[in-house]
Chains A and B, each alone.
Chain A
Amino acid sequence: MELNAKKDVLNALEGAYAAVKGGQIENLHGLSDHIVHSMSIYNDKEITNVAVAIYALAKIFETEKYKKHKKIKEFTKAVLSHMDDAIFALKRNDLEKYSNTLQMLFRDIEGFSKRIRFYIEDVLNFSKIKKSSKLYEHGLSLGQAAEATGVTKWELMPMTGETTTHEKFVEPIVDDEKKINLVRKLFKLK
């Protein structure tokens, strides 16, 4: 992992650890968004996985009725343990251990969201689509953004359509009038 990317990921993981431990769940979204920058530049699955995991945790912990779920303490403990292990592994440049720890974190998120029947059927996949949408917003093509998290363009497109992404930087150099004239010519319209 690149040095700058590693710094970003460590900051995000340490921030997320503190947020979960201190109950400042509102910080998780910002931390997840912050590393989209590194995701876009370094195109590294390990960075993407952190962003997805933190976003999924935000979705779970911010849902009011799950705060009182009988398994939430056990889940939180496991999450904190995995994050601590991931931070430790990354600091020691043990990328294999870091990667395995993130997979364990994913499994716990998946398991807990199934147990609580989260309102989004698959919170992890939903988080992947959200992060892909952010990558697209940051300038990656639809195909590249979809591949980064392993979702399909079918899943990604409606998510991008619901954002304001296409309100900026969409006007083509070929103006609308020329485009319409091309369409008129192609389809023999008056």
Chain B
Amino acid sequence: MAILFDSSTLISLATTCGLTYLPQLQKIYGSDFAITNTVKAETIGKSMETMRFKYEGIRLNNLIGQNVLKLYEEKGHAQKINTLMNSINSSFFAEGKPLKIVHPGEISVLVLGKVANADALAIDERTTRLVIENPEMLRDMLQSKLHTNVKINKDNMAFVSDFCKGMQVIRSAELAFAAWKAGLLGINSKDALEGVLWALKFAGCAISQDEINTYVNKFA
């Protein structure tokens, strides 16, 4: 059992002081918080190339050193990653062309998540989450944005949906909610929860204003 992290969630957390409560959350969870090699390269590797994000990268690397984040090796799963990625990238067609919508890093999270029988995948970016949760909505979005008819290849989509069956996605927003609920933010007011959720939204987490309001007013 594990929670597999995509780089989008790690980046949202890293840029909003969320790495401070991650070790305690992992302790409460009791199993692995894990990342793949590609996610490591996209987060720690890339951040080290620029002074702007170097500190965040060092802090993430430190979490690996402390075993808060475990590295799940992609070795031996490359074929599965390619097959799933090619299937997703051949599921939606516009103007007769397959839309290449996903990237190996995101797909490595799905594949290693499946292999590890993960409890959840932590994914902040919208497209991969919609592939898992609501491909029809993804098609509607593509149609609306591209102003053209988008067709779904049913065979490829069926393979993808079958692969993703049972996968549960959470975002940095839900992790922050858990941290707040567990008293790990240090401030227990609803304002603090609202503040951290908005910070995550501005950091790039795919959460709407309505969802934030629901979290603060209904669930807190």
In the complex, B102 has a CB within 8 A of chain A: yes
Proximity string of chain B (126-162) to chain A, C-beta cutoff 8 Å, 1 when within and 0 when not? 1111100110011011101111100000000000000
Q: Which stretch (A70-78, A88-96, A108-116, A160-168) binds chain B?
A: A160-168
Proximity string of chain B (93-108) to chain A, C-beta cutoff 8 Å, 1 when within and 0 when not? 0110101111111100
Which residues of chain B (179-220) have a CB below 8 Å from chain A?
A: 181-182, 201-211, 214-215, 218-219
Q: How many residues of A contact B (CB 8 A)?
A: 49
In the complex, B29 has a CB within 8 A of chain A: yes
The reply to whether A157 and B15 form a contact with Cβ atoms under 8 Å apart is yes
A41-B99, A143-B103, A157-B15 given; A187·B178 CB < 8 A: yes
List, in ascending order, chain A residues with CB within 8 A of B207's CB.
166, 170
Q: What's the minimum C-beta distance from A139 to chain B, rounded to whole angstroms? A: 4
In the bound complex, CA of A138 to CA of B202 (Å)? 19
Residue in A42, A138, A143 whose beta carbon sits within 8 Å of that of B42 in the complex: A143
> Which 5 pairs across A and B sit closest by C-beta, in order of nearness?
A143-B103, A157-B204, A142-B125, A141-B127, A169-B141
A binding-site residues for B, Cβ under 8 Å: 2, 4, 37, 40-43, 136-144, 146-147, 152-154, 156-162, 165-174, 176-177, 179-180, 182-184, 186-189
**Seed contacts A161-B205, A170-B206, A183-B174; 9 additional CB < 8 Å A-B pairs:** A37-B147, A138-B146, A154-B43, A156-B204, A169-B130, A171-B210, A173-B137, A176-B218, A187-B178
B binding-site residues for A, Cβ under 8 Å: 3, 7-8, 11-12, 15, 25, 28-29, 42-43, 46-47, 49-50, 52-53, 56, 94-95, 97, 99-106, 119-120, 124-130, 133-134, 137-138, 140-142, 144-148, 168-170, 174-175, 177-178, 181-182, 201-211, 214-215, 218-219
24 contacting pairs across A/B (C-beta < 8 A): A37-B148, A40-B145, A41-B146, A41-B148, A136-B126, A140-B100, A142-B103, A143-B102, A153-B7, A153-B42, A154-B56, A157-B8, A157-B11, A161-B202, A161-B203, A166-B201, A166-B207, A169-B137, A174-B133, A179-B174, A182-B168, A183-B175, A187-B178, A189-B182
